[in-house]
């Protein structure tokens, strides 16, 4: 007995009963190799993760650096408070207010369509529908996100625009309304899936307690479930908003690109131009290093500021939603 | 062993021959003329396999600069050289010579149902300035005018802006599209729309207006009667040595193939027959 133990302790290559026996202890070489490889693997993964962080920083750096050509001549404030965008004129003007207004119009109007539909769909998918239907419907909704935006753009220009002219009597079918309808469809999958996740993660206790108190299904959904999931829903809305504000191809094709602020201000049937569309439409052939080039990057800086702050807010709400989930 | 020696020798010989025959031709300049130069270059590659030919599309200004710096053999330009550019070249001992390869004629188009048949340059300008906003004001039906322009970085816009707008700023309500087919689609799909496209993009789905009483056609554009047209240039350093590759390139538009290529790129070849 004791000799067997001794054998085990000192001769690690013993294979009792013919079963392959792998020792727990490692030779120094193996040990070193393991150490080096684990560190190396960690470092590689760290670098890969960093590359995306690094590229974000690079983008910020690059966009801001290129926009300096413009900001040397005009202040951050004066550019955004004038509305005449005539970069190729004899007397070039780079007022971005109309472009900012265009982006805001199109984004807010698209939220006006997509938020109610998105939240209702999320509630329906998480609380009302049978598992079988849900298993079909949810992937189909997510396909919406996979359709390339240029396909949406073609639909906007070739189907929706003429239809609006013929049936609603608009003088032009490519307008703020057209762009925002298309954008709202594009934002739907984001809004639905994030909101649905947060609503269904609430757990049955809350709903059962509400039913137990005698609430109807309607009351439970609208007075208990939706308020309880509000952080996740707000995050969903902001993510949808970012999708809409950052979208380029669709707005370039569908919004008409007139750099004006509609008069009267609520008239969505007029054509507008967004910040993203301006960059996409004019960057291609602008002379490198010219003031126009700098101005386009300045538009990019404003866009970055907007999306960055929206992203921060949504992160904030998502964190809050996670915390709330942890408590229940 | 022997065969390997032979191979090396052949390779060496091939390199040597290549070194003698390889000629380079560098073209730089306008994005408007670029497609023509590219089409020519593509054809040249086919008939002269040893020719190294490159086409850069940077812009007319960059083309003029490159010619002055001796960085290219041919500068493609959608406008004539400015006196500053010309002087710069001349000071460096380079004498720019212009070759007109094609004409760029721009048609003003409206929806086929529009009763208006003719406008003057002034009227078109007023439409794009926002002074005229209803077709009734120019003899049409009571319908709002939806003016559509090309994006400001296109050569077509440049021509229109110079020849029709006389460099005045287009009204802010004017819509923008970034390609000729899109302008065409917008007009064929909207009864009140007006837009401008190159002559090659006109078909039955849109109606071409006569401008200042002249209907745009190859003939009227080439003869200069139609007001919204401009020549497109290739600039070389002096008149190229006859028979050289540069000479063949800048005279290629005179050949049948050259003219077909110009037309395929939706420009008007320079002929009068």
Interface of A with B (CB under 8 A): 83-90, 98, 157-158, 161-162, 165, 171-174, 252-253, 256-260, 270-271, 273, 281-282, 284-287
Question: In chain B, which residue's Cα lies nearest the Cα of A175?
Answer: B175
User: Measured between beta carbons, which residues in chain A are less than 8 angstroms from residue B61?
Assistant: 287
Mean pLDDT of A31-35: 89
- pLDDT score of B1: 45
* Tens of pLDDT, residues A247-273: 998 999 899 889 888 888 888 889 999
- pLDDT score of A17: 57
User: Measured between beta carbons, which residues in chain A are less than 8 angstroms from residue B151?
Assistant: 257, 281-282
Q: Across the interface, which of A87, A258, A281 has its CB nearest the CB of B172?
A: A258
Phi and psi at residue B146, to the nearest 5°? -110, 95
- pLDDT score of B124: 95
Tell me if B152 and A282 make a contact (CB, 8 A cut-off).
yes
d(CA B9, CA B3): 10
Which of A83, A97, A256 to mutate: most B Cβ within 10 Å? Answer: A256
Tokens linked to A251: 């707005």
d(CA A134, CA A138): 6
* Residue B271 C-alpha, separation from nearest chain A C-alpha, in angstroms: 31
Tens-digit pLDDT string for chain B (273 aa): 456 665 555 555 555 444 445 688 999 888 788 889 999 999 999 999 888 999 988 778 888 888 988 889 999 988 888 888 899 899 999 999 999 999 988 999 999 999 999 999 999 999 999 999 999 999 989 999 999 998 887 778 888 998 999 989 999 889 998 888 889 989 998 899 999 998 888 889 999 999 999 999 988 999 889 999 989 999 999 999 998 999 999 999 999 999 999 999 888 998 876
Question: In chain B, which residue's Cα lies nearest the Cα of A162?
Answer: B189
Cβ–Cβ under 8 Å, residues B32 and B104: yes
* Tens of pLDDT, residues A118-169: 999 999 999 888 889 989 998 899 898 899 988 999 899 889 998 998 899 8
Tell me if A85 and B172 make a contact (CB, 8 A cut-off).
yes
Distances in Å between the alpha carbon of A243 and those of A102, A107, A109, B15, B224?
A: 15, 9, 13, 56, 50
Q: Across the interface, which of A87, A88, A271 has its CB nearest the CB of B175?
A: A271
Distances in Å between the alpha carbon of B154 and those of A77, A181, A254, B177, B178?
A: 30, 29, 20, 10, 8
Tell me if B189 and A287 make a contact (CB, 8 A cut-off).
no
Tell me if B167 and A90 make a contact (CB, 8 A cut-off).
yes
* Residue B126 C-alpha, separation from nearest chain A C-alpha, in angstroms: 17
Mean pLDDT, chain A, rounded, equals 86
Chain A, chain B: beta-carbon pairs less than 8 Å apart: 75
Tokens linked to B128: 């794009």
- pLDDT score of B83: 87
Distances in Å between the alpha carbon of B259 and those of B41, B76, B232, B251, B264?
A: 14, 17, 14, 11, 9
User: Measured between beta carbons, which residues in chain B are less than 8 angstroms from residue A161?
Assistant: 189-190
The CB-based long-range contact list for B21-24 (8 Å cut-off, 24+ gap) reads B21/B50, B22/B50, B22/B51, B22/B52, B23/B48, B23/B50, B23/B51, B23/B52, B23/B245, B24/B51, B24/B52, B24/B53, B24/B54, B24/B73
Question: In chain A, which residue's Cα lies nearest the Cα of B142?
Answer: A171
């Amino acid at each position: 007995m004791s000799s067997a133990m001794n054998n085990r302790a000192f001769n690690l290559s013993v294979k009792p009963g013919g079963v392959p026996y792998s020792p727990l202890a490692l030779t120094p070489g193996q040990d070193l190799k393991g150490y080096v490889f684990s560190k190396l693997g960690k470092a590689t993964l760290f670098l890969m993760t960093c590359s995306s962080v690094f590229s974000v920083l690079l983008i910020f750096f690059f966009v801001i650096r290129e926009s300096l050509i413009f900001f040397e001549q005009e202040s951050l404030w004066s550019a955004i408070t004038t509305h005449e965008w005539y970069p190729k004129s004899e007397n070039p003007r780079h007022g971005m207010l109309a472009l900012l207004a265009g982006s805001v119009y199109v984004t807010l109007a698209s939220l006006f369509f997509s938020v109610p539909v998105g939240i209702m769909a999320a509630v329906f998918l998480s609380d009302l529908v049978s598992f079988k239907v849900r298993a079909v419907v949810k992937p189909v909704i997510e396909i919406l996100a996979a359709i390339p935006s240029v396909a949406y753009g073609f639909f906007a220009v070739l189907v929706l625009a003429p239809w609006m002219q013929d049936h609603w009597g608009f003088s032009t079918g490519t307008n703020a309304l057209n762009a925002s309808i298309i954008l709202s469809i594009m934002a739907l999958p984001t809004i639905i899936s994030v909101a649905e996740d947060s609503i269904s993660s609430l757990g049955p206790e809350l709903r059962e307690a509400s039913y137990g108190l005698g609430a109807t299904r309607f009351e439970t959904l609208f007075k208990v479930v939706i308020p309880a999931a509000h952080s996740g829903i707000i995050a969903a809305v902001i993510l949808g908003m970012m999708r809409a504000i950052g979208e380029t191809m669709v707005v370039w094709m569908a919004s008409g690109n007139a750099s004006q602020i509609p008069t009267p201000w609520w008239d969505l049937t007029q054509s507008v131009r967004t910040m993203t569309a301006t960059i996409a439409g004019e960057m291609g052939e602008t002379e490198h290093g010219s003031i126009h080039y700098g101005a386009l990057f300045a538009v990019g800086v404003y866009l970055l500021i907007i999306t960055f702050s929206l992203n921060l807010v949504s992160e904030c709400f998502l964190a809050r939603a996670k915390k709330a989930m942890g408590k229940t | 062993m022997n065969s390997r020696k032979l191979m090396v020798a052949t390779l060496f010989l091939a390199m040597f021959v290549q070194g003698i025959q390889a000629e380079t031709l560098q073209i730089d300049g306008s994005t408007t003329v670029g497609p023509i130069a590219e089409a020519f270059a593509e054809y040249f590659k086919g008939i002269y396999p040893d020719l190294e030919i490159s086409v850069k599309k940077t812009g007319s200004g960059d083309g003029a600069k490159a010619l002055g710096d001796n960085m290219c053999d041919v500068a493609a330009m959608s406008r004539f050289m400015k006196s500053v550019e010309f002087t710069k070249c001349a000071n460096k001992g380079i004498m720019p010579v212009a070759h007109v390869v094609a004409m760029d004629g721009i048609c003003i188009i409206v929806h086929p149902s529009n009763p208006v048949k003719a406008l003057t340059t002034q009227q078109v300008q007023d439409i794009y300035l926002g002074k005229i906003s209803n077709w009734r004001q120019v003899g049409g039906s009571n319908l709002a005018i939806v003016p559509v322009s090309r994006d400001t970085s296109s050569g077509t816009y440049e021509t229109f802006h110079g020849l029709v707008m006389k460099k005045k700023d287009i009204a802010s309500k004017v819509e923008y599209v970034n390609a000729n087919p899109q302008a065409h689609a917008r007009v064929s799909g909207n009864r009140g729309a007006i837009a401008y496209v190159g002559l090659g993009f006109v078909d039955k789905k849109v109606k071409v207006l006569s401008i200042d009483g002249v209907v745009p056609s190859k003939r009227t554009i080439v003869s200069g009667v139609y007001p919204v047209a401009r020549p497109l240039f290739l600039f070389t350093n002096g008149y190229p040595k006859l028979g050289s590759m540069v000479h063949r390139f800048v005279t290629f538009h005179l050949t049948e193939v050259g003219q077909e290529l110009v037309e395929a790129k939706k420009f008007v070849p320079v002929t009068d027959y």
